[in-house]
Amino acid sequence: MILALRVLLTQGQTRVDSLETRVAAERKMVRAVRLEVARLEAPVRIESEAMTRLGMVLPRVVVPLAPIGVPSRSSGP
Amino acid sequence: MKHRRSQGGGRRRTDLVLPRWRMVSILVALALGLGAIVWRLADVQGLSNRRYAAMGRSQRMASLVLPAQRGSILDRNGSELAMSLQAKTVWADPRLITDVPVASEALASVLGIDREVLARRLSVDAKFSYLARKVDDSVAARVAQLELPGVFLMEEPRRFFPAATLAAPVLGTVGVDEQGLSGLELQYQQDLTGTVGQLLEERDPAGREIPAGMREFRPPTEGRQLLLTIDRAMQYETERVLAAQIVASRAKGGIAVVMDPTKGDILAMANLIADPRGPRPSADNMAVTRVYEPGSVNKVVTIAGAIEEGVVDLTSRMNVPDTLKVADAVFRDAEEHSPGWWTVGEVLAESSNVGTIMVGQRLGKQRIDRYLRAFGLASRTALGFPGESGGLLPHPDRWTGTSIATVPIGQGVAVTALQMLGAYNAIANGGTHVEPRLVRSVVGRAGDARTVPQPPPRRVVSESTAAAVNGMLVEAVREGTGTAAAIDGYTVAGKTGTARKPRSGGLGYMEGAYLASFVGFVPAEAPRLSAIVVLDEPTPYFGGLVSAPVFASLARYGVRRFQIPPGSVPATVRSVVAPAATVPSTPSPRVRETRAT
């Protein structure tokens, strides 16, 4: 009887160990993914990708749409 | 048993009886032995049982320290600016290394470390030697593939800054053991550092875990997160625009701070210095650690104090020459002009040194000092940022003969960029000074947030005084020295400043070295965004030419980013900038920029 309980206990412990290992691995994965997302969302990367991959450029002249009655003026960066 | 020997009758009888003393000795010896055993038993089982239990436990229990994850630093929208992740560290047990030259040769190419350095690390007389700390996962995998005896991998937390150098002087740095060294990493070290965990396992003499043996697991507690007031996109734009102007004006560096004046939230804080490869973040947060002579932007405090004290009238005019002698020094406006009858609003809008000095003389040194301190220019802010300066403001008792002329126009005093922006925020807030804020809250792993306390707002000048000065600042941008700060559809209020840089020794000023600045807020009717831009030795050196355009770019981006609608100028503001002439007026010349001597 005692031996059987010990076996059950050992099996349970092994399962707990396995689950703890998985939880730790998943947590690490979540953090790694969050880091990757933060890197991908970083403005410096977005701008770099836009300029190098998509061929976009910073506007030379910005002409905002002014409300009625307010004269608009162009401005450079 | 005793041996007795009797003699008599020719007959000898031997009796085996031990002497009495010997019997007693044996009994005593046995008793002592038994007593010692009992005593030992009592000691082991009773008196010192805990000590022996602990000794046994230490022999069969293996302890493993589980490092805690350092808390992340997030921008106001929850985007990670700094976070920690487990990384692999390569270490060796030199006693198990069989062939040092072969091992160091193999590791050198993988780790990118000199072979000789590795050989020394593999030859130390110790059980443990670091080879490379916190390497990339790919490097760790290649080390594992080498299967070198005595070379092992372990995990350690490593700090990452996913947005690269964005806001680096504000965030600060951490050491190799994840201890904060500067910036917010240092200031909030206690919150960011978690609590290490521990794993206790019962192991057999061979070091293998005993199934169903004793096991204690105390998980590490992750450090708390910092939720900043910084907006990542605004921060990037601020650094980008400032960097572009540093390059364009060949400046040595620059500071730009963008805030929400109503709440005191710092939305962006850029600190850049010029470098041959392009502007790069400074080592420290110059916006709060470095002081500079503010120059003309300081005139706002003098004028506001004078209006509040009633020593100047908003509509009356005073005769302002272009030179004025005070003590043994002659002070000039930036451009020559004939004496004219100017309102105090025109004095500020045109940034007249002489006019401001005349106002300052009416106000007096005690009251000037009081208002400078009330606007927060002589004390550290509530940020508590490491290395923050409180500014340099001499006590009125130590003023020299010319101080009554220099202090009102921002010379002979030194402030941080954040202090000066705070003073303008007080005008923007209708005369109420709101302390700046960089950290909104400290968030625990369970989501429990602790708001960082902020001192209550305090009134500096009356609402009417603030409205009057606001109107003057609107005029300074509309037709004064700050026209380059104007943006379409919005009413901008602000002030330019161009101040000479003092010599490093403290006596006199450097020839041809200026700090150009612009401080302002938008929309003037209901300010939601304020900013200060300071450029170090730009060309040209006028704040209205180099710093004001940077402000305009930041304001233009900020009103879109934060969806700030334009407002309409209230009557109180308009009435100040266009006063009815009651005395004969000489048209004031356009003073493009002020420059105190």
B162 and A39 in contact by Cβ < 8 A?
yes
Task: Flag whether residue A32 sits within 8 Å of chain B, measured between CB atoms.
Answer: yes
The shortest CB-CB distance from A70 to any of B86, B163, B489 is to: B489
**Considering only CB atoms, which chain B residues are within 8 Å of A29?**
none
Active site residues of B: 296
For strands B458-459 and B253-260, give the pairing: unpaired
A13 and B552 in contact by Cβ < 8 A?
no
Task: Flag whether residue A73 sits within 8 Å of chain B, measured between CB atoms.
Answer: yes
Alpha-carbon span B348 to B497, nearest angstrom: 11
SS (H, E, C) B126-165: CCCEEEEEEECHHHHHHHHHHCCCCEEEEEEEEEECCCCC
pLDDT tens digits for A47-72?
999 999 999 998 777 666 656 665 55
B166 and A43 in contact by Cβ < 8 A?
yes
Task: Flag whether residue A48 sits within 8 Å of chain B, measured between CB atoms.
Answer: no
B162 and A13 in contact by Cβ < 8 A?
no
Mutation for A interface: B79, B80, B84, most A CBs within 10 A: B80
* Angle between helical axes of B417-428 and B463-478 (0-180°, round to 10): 110
Tell me which architecture the domain covering B66-228 has in CATH: Alpha-Beta Complex (3.90)
Q: How would you label B530-557 residue by residue, b for 16+ Cβ within 10 Å and e otherwise?
A: bbbbbbbbbeebbbbbbbbbbbbbbbbb
Alpha-carbon span B95 to B142, nearest angstrom: 22
The shortest CB-CB distance from A43 to any of B69, B232, B553 is to: B232
Task: Flag whether residue A70 sits within 8 Å of chain B, measured between CB atoms.
Answer: yes
B508 min Cα distance to partner chain A (Å): 36
B164 and A35 in contact by Cβ < 8 A?
no
**Considering only CB atoms, which chain B residues are within 8 Å of A39?**
162-163
Task: Flag whether residue A11 sits within 8 Å of chain B, measured between CB atoms.
Answer: no
B232 min Cα distance to partner chain A (Å): 8
DSSP B587: P
Residue showing tokens 């400046």: B251
A6 and B212 in contact by Cβ < 8 A?
yes
A9 min Cα distance to partner chain B (Å): 6
A9 and B212 in contact by Cβ < 8 A?
yes
| pTM for the full predicted model | 0.82
Alpha-carbon span B258 to B444, nearest angstrom: 28
Q: What is the largest CA-CA distance in chain B?
A: 168
A43 and B233 in contact by Cβ < 8 A?
yes
Task: Flag whether residue A59 sits within 8 Å of chain B, measured between CB atoms.
Answer: no
A69 min Cα distance to partner chain B (Å): 9
If one looks up domain B295-440+455-577 in CATH, what number appears?
A: 3.40.710.10
A77 min Cα distance to partner chain B (Å): 7
Alpha-carbon span B76 to B62, nearest angstrom: 43
Task: Flag whether residue A51 sits within 8 Å of chain B, measured between CB atoms.
Answer: no
**Considering only CB atoms, which chain A residues are within 8 Å of B164?**
42, 44
A31 and B162 in contact by Cβ < 8 A?
no
B83 and A38 in contact by Cβ < 8 A?
yes
The ipTM (two decimal places) reads 0.79
Half-sphere exposure of B88 (CA within 13 A, CB side): 15
Per-residue pLDDT, B55: 85
Give the chain A residue nearest B210 (alpha carbons): A10
Cα B79 → chain centroid = 18
Collapse the DSSP code of B374 into the 3-class scheme (helix H, G, I; strand E, B; otherwise coil) and give the result.
helix
Structure token digits, residue B395? 């006590």
pLDDT tens digits for A1-24?
888 988 888 888 889 889 988 998
Residue showing tokens 């954040």: B418
The shortest CB-CB distance from A38 to any of B80, B86, B244 is to: B80
Residues comprising chain A, all counted: 77
Domain boundaries of chain B, sorted by first residue:
1-45, 66-228, 295-440+455-577
pLDDT digit string (tens) for chain B, length 597 residues: 444 444 444 455 555 667 888 889 999 999 999 999 999 999 988 888 888 888 887 788 888 888 888 999 999 999 999 999 988 999 999 989 889 999 999 999 999 999 999 999 999 888 899 999 999 889 999 999 999 999 999 988 899 999 999 999 999 999 988 899 999 999 999 999 988 888 888 888 777 777 667 778 888 888 999 999 999 999 999 999 999 999 999 999 999 999 999 999 999 999 999 999 999 999 999 999 999 999 999 999 999 999 999 999 888 899 999 899 998 889 998 888 889 899 999 999 888 999 999 999 999 999 999 999 999 998 999 999 999 999 999 999 999 989 999 999 999 899 999 999 999 999 999 999 999 999 999 999 888 899 988 899 999 999 999 999 999 999 999 988 899 999 988 999 999 999 888 887 767 788 889 999 999 999 999 999 999 999 999 999 999 999 999 999 999 999 999 999 887 644 444 433 333 333 333 333 333 333 332
